[in-house]
Structure 1
Amino acid sequence: MNNKTNFKIKERELIATRVFNTPRELIFEAHSSCKQLKNWWGPRSWPMEECTMDFRESGTWHYCLRGPNAGDESWGKVIYKKIVRPERIEYEDYFSDKEGNINSEMPGMQITVEFIDQGDATKLVSRTLFDSSDALQSVVDMGVKEGFAETWDRLEEHLAKLAIKD
């Protein structure tokens, strides 16, 4: 099975797809708590070191990725719009500051993550909608596709460790 992350760009939307050899309940749970996300969210050189989460519709997730150089940090804030366990999570994702104030100078994103049951495997589809094609291009230029692929590589490694514990 090919576990490579595939990307497609359609106007203002970035679509990432990958199949994981993991039941969807387990992969959904890996998205639903700081304890899980700290193990895999973000590129290896920018791990998540701070996280608070209220995983419910209208709840928020506030986190910080820290880079390899002193002072390198990137704060994000998510507002959950719809959660259909274990099928889909819909949320707005923003760059923010340490206090959780949204950075209006950076592009916001509307994200839908689908967890498609394929028996012992799960097809993960992440659809990220931007306000404009220019906003999408700006995050592509920042390396979002490479960071995304590496994050999902880390997710796959984390899921494998969870499977060993079962």
Structure 2
Amino acid sequence: MSATAQSPTADREIVISRVIDAPRELVFGAFTEVRHLSRWWGPEGFTTTTRTFEFRVGGVWDFVLHGPDGTDYPEWITWTEIAPPERIALLHGESRGDPNAFESVLTFQPDGTATRIEMRTVFPTRELRDEMVEKYHAIEGGRQTLSNLAAYVAEIVRTRAEG
């Protein structure tokens, strides 16, 4: 296998990364409590309403993502791996048992005093990945979500510095 060989899931995945100017423990922590997630999760203009939230392996986050146009999107996440403050793996669909659910792995790496977060999402099929990119703008939405996360943790860092 050459150094340039792609992963076997490359045609079914989306990878988005960003450097966030905050310590890794803080960035990781923004995923662990609904009071944090509800402030930044989702693309620009979206809000969330949580029905259930339990951050543990096998735990569930059942919520509705509200689009700026008034469309509601039922969402369901279960955590499959949690390794603080380095890694979170999850299964994400519209509901439990969703045949189109996709897997995401988030990694948190120190980058000086900042954190490099990478979100690697693997879809069941290439067609589903392509539909999520074309119809639902998954890449741009993912970038906006990480931008919202960056702004949220920057606010926490600023508040702590002032306090």
For 1:16 and 1:69, the matched residues in 2 are separated by 25
Residue of 79, 103, 118 corresponding to 1:110: 103
Equivalent position of 2:142 in the other structure = 148
- Superposition deviation, residue 48 in structure 1: 1.4
Q: How does 1:58-137 map to 2 (within 5 A)?
A: 58-70=58-70, 72-96=71-95, 101-104=96-99, 107-137=100-130
Contact 1:77 1:102 in 2 (8 A): no
Contact 2:50 2:61 in 1 (8 A): no
Q: Output the TM-score relative to the length of structure 1.
A: 0.85
What amino acid maps onto 1:90 in structure 2?
A
More helix by share: 2
What amino acid maps onto 2:122 in structure 1?
L
Q: For the structure 1 residues 145 and 51, does the alpha-carbon distance in structure 2 shift closer, same or farther, using more than 3 Å as the test?
A: farther
Contact 1:80 1:91 in 2 (8 A): yes
Contact 1:75 1:95 in 2 (8 A): yes
Runs (4+) of structure 1 exceeding 4 A deviation are: none
What amino acid maps onto 2:45 in structure 1?
S
- Superposition deviation, residue 52 in structure 1: 2.6
For 1:112 and 1:133, the matched residues in 2 are separated by 18
- Superposition deviation, residue 112 in structure 1: 0.5
- Superposition deviation, residue 76 in structure 1: 0.8
Q: Say whether residues 1:17 and 2:10 are aligned partners.
A: no
* C-alpha RMSD over aligned residues: 1.6
Q: How does 1:27-42 map to 2 (within 5 A)?
A: 27-42=27-42
Any idea what SS the aligned residue of 1:11 has? Answer: helix
Identify unmatched segments of 5+ residues in structure 2: 1-8
Equivalent position of 1:5 in the other structure = none
